[in-house]
Amino acid sequence: MIVQRLREIQNRFGFLPDEEMRKLARETGVPLYRVEEISSFFPAFVLQRSNPAPTVVRVCRDMACHLRGAADLLDPKKGLPALADQLSAQTGKKVCVEGVSCLGRCDRAPVAWAERHPMPEHVHAWVYAGKSRAELEQIVRKLATGEAAPPPDDDAKYLPNVNATEAWEIDVYGRENWPRDYRAVRKFIDFLGTLPKPLAAPPRELGGKDLDNYVKEHHPLLAELKAAGLLGMGGAGAPAYQKWLDVWREPANEKYIVSNGDESEPGTFKDREIMLRLPHLLVEGVILAGLMTGATAGYIYVRHEYLEQIHELREEIARAQELGACGPNVFNTGRSFPVEVFESPGGYICGEQSALIEAMEDRRSQPRNRPPELTTNGLRDKPTVVNNVETLAWTPYIILRAGTSYATRGWRVPGEGKQPGFGGRRIFSVSGDVKRPGVYEVPVGLPFRELIESPEYCGGVNGKLKAIATSGPSGGLLPARLPVDPKLDEKKRADAVARIRERSNNDAEIMEWFMRTYMPIGETTLDLLGVPLDLNFFRNLHALLRLPVEPMLGAGLVVYAEGTDLLDQAVNFTEFYRNESCGKCIPCRLGSQKLVQIGTELIASRETGTKAEGAGADVKEITKALQLTSICGLGYVAPIPLATVMAYFSDECVKKPTV
């Protein structure tokens, strides 16, 4: 793989020497222009012709780090770049300080990635998190002058804030005090041993209940995934069962499982902890997906900044192979299923599943037009399951404890007798203005208030709650109190509940309880902290309230207290999308830059007391264009940060908030 070879060269030298690029082209038979095309696209690759500095410090500039002063640290005249210029002049060696997209340590903001490569094939890289400006200045000085670098802030040495009173249920081995012996894989292998003939995929013509019955009868462990109601944890919330079923039904002789561990959305860092502390769950989940769908190989795609996680996963794969759980002869069945780690070449766009596949195929990481879907034409044009890290990590629990065990672990409406409730559990990463930023496993449907204020979780807000980014930058900023249309009378409420009841009586009962509790008739605002942490509830709530911007729920929550300049934050979010656009869709490439320009002009007009005419109309027009023409979700969500601030915090577009 060209991308992986380039990654190895970059890791060895700290950049890509021209001669090494030519050598790679000769050895692989790939034309040099193709090697150049790939290497010039990905932000993590540094070309020799760019005159790379022997000392480089990259400071995260997004969300939590921006909230903690990254903009001041990166000020070219007064911040660390000015110090780098001074040190370059003093030492005669180039020192570079620059901004970089989210490094995945948002709970320890601000974060910096430092590299020093004073001689060929002698590279050091460190992560520094939660340091003061004075400490970062000292780090830059020591690196530039060749002194011993201060000890890095390794993820393994840092114990993040987690649930205070209970261990995570996802770790079924830890909860049961079992050895990590891949017994979920053994359970499936034992099941295969009871069959009189090989497991056969359902006939193509089967569908609906007939298909469900076939799966229950012939592939009961796959049926457990459906019973669990396990959803994708990467954002879209697609049922995991459906992807696995679709790939199992494909008759191809090659199929693949890919775990998407390119956790690059600002504010999101839950998979970091799963891959570091529970790698066996992910590796077993990949193996289970492979064996249960008839796949031939598995890959764990991990962002390159997660050095410790990559190491732990490779160690765990080696251990699993020693046990016989993967490799050429899975538990002596003659079945082959190798698993390996794919180290990302960098770029937020790689989190989009088809763009991720493009990178794995040694192409520019640009999203594909779909259909065809990846379940029929994925990696190497073969059927492929792409699942989030957490999704796969839950599968050992489901196979060992049954799908209904997971499905009944959600939050339930308080009250006497049998109350409606939610299904499953999931993990959230929380950062920003909370007392205990961290990674928390919670029952699905737990109200925001419990997660944010309970001492078991985040322990409260540092100040008064102003807004929450409920899906990293993708969902924009929701106010502490959402607007409720006063025209939302009893009939409209009843009609909304009736529509929900057509899909789910349980969901309808939850909405009725929620309206009684938080939305009495005549109330014009809604307490955001009362909203349940459930993706489907978010969608139902939007259908009821018809909010100005559709709310989103992701795995990364960033909390903002009163006094925060939310227009400034929204512009920062938008800059992230501008920086990370792959450029394939012209409306996205140009529109994201135009959105940044609009936000910057709003800030400037606010400072001068003038009015930025037409900004709202321009954002609406760009939103419509991007949502109609963008191939992937980046273009769809790029306008949302500004749109939410203009809808919910319009006063901040004309006057800066006071601290």
Q: How far is Cα 266 from Cα 556, in angstroms, rounded to an integer?
A: 8
> Where does a domain end: 507, 533, 559?
559
Chain centre to alpha carbon of residue 559 = 17
Question: What is the token pair recorded at 320?
Answer: 């699993």
Both 388 and 456 in a single domain?
no
Between β-strands 256-261 and 122-129, what pairing exists: parallel, antiparallel or unpaired? unpaired
Both 555 and 571 in a single domain?
no
| Measured CA distances, 98 to 56, 574, 589 (Å) | 8, 18, 22
Closest by CA to 398, choosing from 241, 592, 629, is 241
> Where does a domain end: 347, 380, 405?
405
178-198 confidence digits (pLDDT tens): 999 999 999 999 999 999 888
**Average pLDDT of span 372-387:** 97
Q: How far is Cα 385 from Cα 232, in angstroms, rounded to an integer?
A: 11
CATH number at 358 reads: 3.40.50.11540
Is the separation of the CB atoms in 73 and 80 below 8 Å? yes
- pLDDT of amino acid 418: 86
Residue 625 has pLDDT above 90, yes or no: yes
CATH number at 549 reads: 3.10.20.600
- pLDDT of amino acid 655: 85
Q: How far is Cα 250 from Cα 530, in angstroms, rounded to an integer?
A: 44
pTM: 0.95
333-379 confidence digits (pLDDT tens): 999 999 999 999 999 999 999 999 999 999 999 999 999 999 999 99
- Dihedral of CA 601/79/432/565: which sign? negative
Residue 443 has pLDDT above 80, yes or no: yes
pLDDT range class, residue 522, cuts 50, 70, 90: confident
3-state secondary structure at position 119: strand
3-state secondary structure at position 441: strand
In the 8-state DSSP scheme, what is residue 196? Answer: S
Residue 468 has pLDDT above 80, yes or no: yes
**Average pLDDT of span 474-479:** 97
| Residue 410 lies inside a defined structural domain of this protein | no
- pLDDT of amino acid 542: 92
Average pLDDT, the chain: 94
Residue 657 has pLDDT above 90, yes or no: no
| Residue 412 lies inside a defined structural domain of this protein | no
Q: How far is Cα 428 from Cα 554, in angstroms, rounded to an integer?
A: 8
**Average pLDDT of span 515-530:** 93
Q: How far is Cα 312 from Cα 391, in angstroms, rounded to an integer?
A: 19
- pLDDT of amino acid 611: 78
**Residues 6+ away with beta carbon under 8 Å from 388:** 232, 233, 234, 259, 260, 271
Q: How far is Cα 321 from Cα 329, in angstroms, rounded to an integer?
A: 9
Residue 3 has pLDDT above 90, yes or no: yes
The total number of structural domains that make up the chain:
4
- pLDDT of amino acid 478: 98
Half-sphere exposure of 249 (CA within 13 A, CB side): 18
Both 589 and 575 in a single domain?
yes
Question: What is the number of H-type helices and E-type strands within the chain?
Answer: 27, 15
Kind and range of the H or E element at 639?
A: none
Kind and range of the H or E element at 81?
A: helix 80-91
For residue 74, report the phi and psi dihedrals to the nearest 5 degrees: -100, 10
CATH number at 6 reads: 3.40.30
- pLDDT of amino acid 659: 67
Both 392 and 426 in a single domain?
no
Both 396 and 430 in a single domain?
no
Closest by CA to 230, choosing from 407, 408, 427, is 407
- pLDDT of amino acid 332: 93
For residue 105, report the phi and psi dihedrals to the nearest 5 degrees: -125, 45
Both 365 and 426 in a single domain?
no
Instruction: Report the 10 Å Cβ neighbour count for 231.
Output: 22
Both 443 and 505 in a single domain?
yes
| Residue 161 lies inside a defined structural domain of this protein | no
Chain centre to alpha carbon of residue 470 = 13
Both 56 and 95 in a single domain?
yes
Q: How far is Cα 282 from Cα 309, in angstroms, rounded to an integer?
A: 12
Is the separation of the CB atoms in 449 and 463 below 8 Å? no
Closest by CA to 290, choosing from 238, 335, 324, 333, is 335
Both 573 and 547 in a single domain?
no
| Residue 162 lies inside a defined structural domain of this protein | no
> Where does a domain end: 506, 532, 559?
559
**Residues 6+ away with beta carbon under 8 Å from 254:** 296, 380, 382
Residue 120 has pLDDT above 70, yes or no: no
- pLDDT of amino acid 486: 84
| Residue 504 lies inside a defined structural domain of this protein | yes
Percentage of the residues of the chain whose pLDDT score is greater than 90: 87
Both 181 and 295 in a single domain?
yes
Both 222 and 347 in a single domain?
yes
Is the separation of the CB atoms in 387 and 281 below 8 Å? no
Please report where in the chains the tokens 């809808």 appear, as a residue: 647
12-41 confidence digits (pLDDT tens): 898 999 999 999 999 999 999 999 999 999
For residue 319, report the phi and psi dihedrals to the nearest 5 degrees: -65, -40
| Residue 153 lies inside a defined structural domain of this protein | no
305-341 confidence digits (pLDDT tens): 999 999 999 999 999 999 999 999 999 999 999 999 9
Closest by CA to 430, choosing from 415, 418, 419, 446, is 446
Both 588 and 602 in a single domain?
yes
Owning domain of residue 131: 2-144
| Residue 384 lies inside a defined structural domain of this protein | yes
Of residues 559 and 199, the one with the higher pLDDT is 559
Residue 72 has pLDDT above 90, yes or no: yes
| Residue 297 lies inside a defined structural domain of this protein | yes
206-236 confidence digits (pLDDT tens): 999 999 999 999 999 999 999 999 999 877 7
CATH number at 638 reads: 1.20.1440.230
Convert 290-353 into a string of H (helix), E (strand) and C (coil): HHHHCCCEEEEEECCCCHHHHHHHHHHHHHHHHHCCCECCHHHCCCCECEEEEECCCCHHHHCH
Percentage of the residues of the chain whose pLDDT score is greater than 70: 99
- pLDDT of amino acid 607: 87
**Average pLDDT of span 88-108:** 96
